[in-house]
Amino acid sequence: MNETRTRLDPTLGLPRITEGIPGLGGQIRQAIDDFVVMEEPLYEPAGEGEHIYLRITRRNQTTRDLVLDLGRLLGLKDSAIGVAGQKDRAARTTQTISLHMPKADVDDVCRRVQDELDVSIESAARHLNKLRMGHLASNRFVITVRNLQDESSDRLRQRLEAKLEAIRERGMPNYFGPQRFGRDGDNAERGRRVLEGRERAKGWLRRLLISAFQSELFNGWLAARIRDGLFDSLMEGDLASPRGSHGVFTTEEVEREQARCAAGEIDVTGPLFGKKMARATGPAGDREKAILREAGITEALFEDRDCDGGRRAARVFPKDLRYEFTGEILELDFSLPPGSFATAFLREIQGPMASL
């Protein structure tokens, strides 16, 4: 089946690295508990400090909605509440929320939250600082894929193993998933309009829309690399990053650095356009400039207070991956780095017949 990008899902049509292997098809999110996300914390609370860390499980609620509910219930401003990541609505999610409540009784806060909100508190403790975006080790996913293609279990298993082997060797494309672009798939276009002054938005919504536009441009850059056979290949001027590091360096000796890339020591990074973004040079820089030209914009558009920008790894490697088949049902259990999307992994496994 040929895919085309649609307003509802701008990620349709993005190339996969396993396109030569038939997908398993199937559907996800047929029930809330079919999509489970659990944050794996970067550190444990110290047991003292002005902030209360609540580890909360809830269903069918975005992180933003949970933050708003907590703010209303506890009389807290947005700035007093911290999260390490934004989670989607259609899932069962466990994540840590920090609350700046220096004088509050922790047990009393827990009782109020559990009595008034439809959530479960897994743990609560004080800590010295506010929780901030990215302050987590990884996200663990347990995802149920139903209604797989009508094939024998042995054939489905062979397909899955072939796809997993390719991903273990090369990594998976670190695309932003369809969740980033909103229910109607138009957040990126709205973000562009905000930057161009054609739409007004404030605060959290403004940052969300601009981020969606940055994400769409990154996806376009990564798709072009894959189509041109450069997914896991370095070129002169690329900004690469050691695995697990936020630092980047310019690729000058391509042959030497390519060996490190093949060994999984370093990764190519792509552009999240903004005023503080480090820029690729040479042929790699030309590719990034081409993305802007194709969009009909210049870098001047990103000189905005809510548009710092940065770099993002082109690929990631799922960890601790386990799976189990039960008839036409597949359960996948795996972990991804902060900011990476399980749907980017699933689109490789399910193929173009996927229902995400």
Residue 62 and residue 165: Cα distance in Å, rounded? 33
- Is 232 marked active-site? no
Element (H, E) at 255: helix 254-262
Is residue 83 within 8 A of residue 67, CB to CB? The reply is: yes
CA angle 341, 113, 59 (to 5 degrees): 35
What's the CA gap between 262 and 191, in Å, rounded?
Answer: 36
H helices of 117-242, in order, are 153-170, 187-195, 203-227
What is the dihedral sign for C-alpha 331, 336, 342, 346? negative
**146 phi and psi, to 5 degrees?**
-110, 165
Cα 20 versus chain centre, distance = 25
Catalytic residue among 69, 78, 88, 150: 88
Residues β-bridged to residue 95: 56
Query: Distance between CA atoms of 35 and 270, rounded to whole angstroms?
Result: 28
CB atoms within 10 A of CB 323: 16
Helices 203-227 and 282-295, axial angle in degrees (round to 10): 120
Rg (CA), the chain: 21
Catalytically active residues are 88
